[in-house]
């Protein structure tokens, strides 16, 4: 897989029958929606896809469905296959490779807090598989932050590491990573993991975003990132105010993906609720978020 760039959607997992079953038919429709609206790639089974509460069997089945649905559309598939167990991450990643995914998104092992040596060993094991890897640094959920220095050291050890999803919200560290990245013989693609920080991250060397908002506004996110990458900064700044406000709203009423699912359900995409322990938004929260969504639609025409 070449450089990763553009708007990449962190796909929600749609549920039906009181969230007991995955809605594979709707997954197919959502992939088609993204193929028609400028999305560059799809990430199934990430944070937004509720990976902690889907079974291993569902996890693999979702990846297979997305790969199947994306075939022939030009969409790339970056499958979420990380785990805090190296053995399980290896199994998921191997299955994703066999299914035909273009790359894997590997979340930094969570809860057990590996040292830098443990992180290097973890990614070195995954590097034994023949699938490009994207390191997912999200300390707010994992409990550890991978420093720019350690990220580059992992990249030097792992020839299959092609990108980083930067979700630590620390622009100083991301800037340092972008500077160190230039020293690599094959620089990593640096992707914003936060819609609201896409513009500043791309300004220091990023190439795109793995986006929550793109689930419902794929064309907006594609246009936004396209203008940034084409250095049309006046237009990018105009769009940034829209993206910033909407993306902050999506995360202001509860943990992701509670907000985006509420908006999608209102907009006619019956993606269901979230699996416990996440819940649906309260009615008052939903109404407030829907109001913001309706105002955004008016702006977009």
CATH number of the domain that 110 lies in?
3.20.20.70
DSSP string, 64-85: HHHHHHHTTTT-EEEEE---SS
297 among known catalytic residues: no
Mean pLDDT of 8-33: 98
Q: Is residue 38 part of a domain?
A: yes
Q: Tell me, yes or no, whether 243 lies in a domain.
A: no
54-63 own/partner pairs: CB under 8 Å, 24+ apart: 54/13, 54/22, 54/275, 56/88, 56/92, 58/22, 59/92, 60/92, 60/95, 60/96, 60/99, 61/22, 61/24, 62/13, 62/22, 62/24, 62/27, 63/95, 63/96, 63/99, 63/101
pLDDT bin (cut points 50, 70, 90) of residue 268 is very high
Instruction: Please tell me which residue in 64, 165, 261, 269 is annotated as part of the active site.
Output: 165
- The answer to whether position 104 is within a domain reads yes
Question: Does residue 268 belong to any structural domain of this protein?
Answer: no
260 within domain boundaries: no
The C-alpha atoms of residue 213 and residue 51 are separated, in whole angstroms, by 18
Q: Which pLDDT score, from 0 to 100, does residue 301 have?
A: 76
Q: Which ranges of 75-146 would DSSP assign to H, the alpha helix?
A: 86-99, 116-126, 139-142
The mean of the pLDDT values for the chain is 97
> Is residue 165 flagged as an active site residue?
yes
Q: Is 248 among the domain residues?
A: no
pLDDT band at 146 (very low <50, low <70, confident <90, very high): very high
In a domain, 254, yes or no: no
Question: How many domains is the chain built from?
Answer: 1
Q: Is residue 194 included in any domain, yes or no?
A: yes
Q: Which entry of 136, 186, 219, 235 is annotated as an active-site residue?
A: 136
Q: For residue 135, give its domain range.
A: 6-230
Q: Do residues 165 and 105 touch, judged by C-beta distance below 8 A? A: yes
Query: Model confidence over 169-211: pLDDT tens digits?
Result: 999 999 999 999 999 999 999 999 999 999 999 999 999 999 9
| Residue 133 CB-half CA count within 13 A | 30
Q: Is the sign of the CA dihedral 218, 285, 142, 89 positive or negative?
A: negative
**Per-residue pLDDT reduced to its tens digit, 66-121:** 999 999 999 999 999 999 999 999 999 999 999 999 999 999 999 999 999 999 99
Encoding tokens for residue 168? 């630590």
In this prediction, residue 3 has a pLDDT band, given cuts at 50, 70 and 90, of confident
């Amino acid at each position: 897989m070449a450089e990763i760039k553009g708007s990449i959607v962190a796909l929600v997992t749609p549920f039906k029958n009181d969230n007991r079953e995955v809605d594979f038919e709707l997954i197919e429709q959502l992939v088609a929606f993204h193929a028609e609206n400028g999305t560059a790639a799809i990430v199934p089974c990430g944070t937004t896809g509720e990976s902690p509460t889907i079974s291993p069997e569902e996890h693999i089945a979702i990846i297979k469905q997305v790969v199947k649905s994306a075939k022939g559309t030009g969409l790339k598939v970056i499958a979420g296959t990380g785990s805090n167990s190296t053995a399980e991450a290896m199994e998921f990643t191997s299955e994703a490779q066999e299914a035909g995914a273009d790359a894997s998104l590997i979340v930094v092992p969570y809860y057990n807090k590996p040292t830098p040596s443990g992180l290097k060993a973890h990614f070195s094991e995954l590097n034994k598989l023949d699938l490009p890897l994207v390191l997912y640094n999200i300390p707010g959920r994992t409990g550890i932050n991978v420093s720019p220095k350690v990220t580059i050291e992992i990249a030097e050890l792992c020839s299959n590491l092609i990108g980083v999803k930067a979700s630590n919200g620390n622009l100083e560290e991301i800037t340092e990573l972008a500077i160190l990245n230039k020293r690599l013989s094959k620089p990593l693609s640096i992707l914003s993991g936060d819609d609201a920080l896409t513009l500043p991250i791309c300004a220091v060397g990023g190439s795109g975003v793995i986006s929550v908002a793109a689930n419902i506004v794929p064309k907006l996110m594609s246009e936004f990132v396209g203008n940034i990458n084409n250095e049309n900064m006046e237009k990018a700044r105009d769009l940034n105010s829209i993206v910033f406000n909407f993306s902050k709203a999506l995360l202001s009423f509860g943990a992701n993906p509670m907000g985006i699912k509420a908006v999608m359900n209102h907009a006619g995409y019956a993606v269901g609720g979230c699996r416990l322990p996440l819940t649906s938004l309260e009615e008052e929260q939903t109404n407030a978020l829907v109001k913001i969504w309706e105002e955004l639609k008016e702006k977009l025409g």
